[in-house]
């Protein structure tokens, strides 16, 4: 027997069915009471650890939005307008050659249908977030206008040319820029404050440059930003949809290191709040 209709005309069971029908969720989000997406990653426990600027009444941009968690968070925090950009065409992603050589069908299966999660979440939340198909490299005032606040979450490590993307982001950023990125814990511990990054570019993680926190700051500074605040290390927990990590001795040692250095298990990150240098 169907449950009562919700404000968007869908019953609770219809909302659950819409979530289940989407094969791969990147973000874990509660879209209605009792309706939570089985995301690969769960930002909910760590979102308040980010150095958020005041976004109330402002025009905001979320670059590389995936399923839209940060875009909806901007909206929840009072943004007047939120634009979310990403690419659904897998051919336009910065896949390493070792992955791209496996063919388009493999890429589609590995990454899932991008854009659908954002559309489903936006409808079920009754959100006004505007979605645009724009590469981070293609951002410009002519293409998207300018924004009072820009956020970019866990994107730079997946880009072959992160500095080029940051330069494009700066061209549309009029105020605060909140940038989060995965960090390498070994380089964090051994770097002693020196800006360093590890080049991957061959693994199935589709990662290119993974910096330490000093390297992350230097990336922003080198592209015309001034760093104002920085979070402590934190780890984004794995969501229910993430493949279970291996549990051998090496994996257990890495898990212990993440708990000691980043406070919990998951993917180590840091977040920086910066502004364009005038």
- pLDDT for residue 1: 27
The whole-number mean pLDDT for each consecutive block of 10 residues of the chain, a chain of 278 residues, reads: 46 92 96 95 97 98 98 98 94 92 85 89 97 97 98 98 98 98 94 94 94 98 98 95 80 78 87 96
Which pLDDT does position 259 carry in this prediction? 81
> How far apart are alpha carbons 253 and 119 in whole angstroms?
39
Query: Which 3 state secondary structure label does DSSP give 63?
Result: strand
Q: What is the pLDDT of residue 106?
A: 86
State the pLDDT at residue 163.
98
For residue 56, which of 149, 122, 135, 118 has the smallest C-alpha distance? 149
The domain locations on the chain are 13-276
- Domain topology for 13-276: Rossmann fold (3.40.50)
Backbone angles phi, psi at 142, to 5 degrees: -70, -35
Q: What is the pLDDT of residue 3?
A: 33
Could you tell me the two tokens for 147? 């924004």
Q: Among residues 42, 64, 25, which one has the least CA distance to residue 265?
A: 42
Query: For residue 83, what is the enclosing H or E element?
Result: strand 81-86
* Total-model pTM: 0.92
Res 8: pLDDT: 60
- What is the pLDDT, as a whole number, of residue 9? 67
DSSP state, residue 129: P
Q: Could you write out the DSSP letters of every residue in 203-267?
A: STT---EEE-HHHHHHHHHHTTEEEEEEPPPEEEPB-TTSPPPP-SHHHHHHHHHHHHHHSSSSE
> Which residues does 91 contact at the CB level (< 8 Å), separation at least 6?
104, 107
């Amino acid at each position: 027997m169907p449950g009562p209709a919700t404000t968007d005309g869908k019953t609770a069971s219809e909302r659950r069915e819409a979530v289940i029908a989407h094969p791969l969720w990147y973000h874990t989000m509660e879209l209605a009471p009792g309706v939570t997406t089985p995301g690969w990653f769960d930002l909910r426990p760590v979102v308040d650890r980010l150095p958020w600027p005041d976004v109330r009444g402002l025009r905001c941009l979320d670059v590389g939005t995936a399923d839209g968690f940060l875009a909806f968070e901007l909206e929840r925090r009072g943004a007047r307008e939120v634009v979310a950009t990403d690419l659904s065409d897998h051919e336009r992603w910065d896949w390493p050659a070792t992955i791209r050589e496996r063919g388009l069908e493999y890429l589609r299966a590995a990454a899932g249908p991008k854009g659908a999660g954002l559309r489903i979440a936006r409808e079920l939340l009754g959100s006004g977030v505007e979605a645009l198909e724009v590469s981070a490299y293609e951002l410009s005032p002519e293409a998207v206008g300018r924004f009072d606040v820009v956020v970019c979450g866990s994107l730079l490590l997946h880009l072959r040319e992160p500095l080029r993307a940051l330069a494009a982001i700066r061209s549309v950023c009029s105020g605060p820029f909140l940038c989060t990125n995965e960090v390498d814990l070994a380089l964090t511990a051994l770097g002693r404050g020196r800006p360093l990054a590890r080049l991957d570019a061959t693994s199935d993680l589709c990662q290119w440059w993974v910096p330490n926190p000093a390297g992350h700051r230097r990336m922003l500074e080198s592209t015309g930003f001034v760093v104002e605040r920085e979070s402590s290390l934190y780890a984004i927990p794995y969501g229910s949809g993430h493949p279970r990590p291996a549990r051998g001795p090496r994996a257990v040692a890495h898990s212990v290191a993440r708990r000691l250095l980043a406070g919990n298990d998951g993917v180590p990150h840091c977040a920086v709040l910066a502004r364009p240098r005038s």
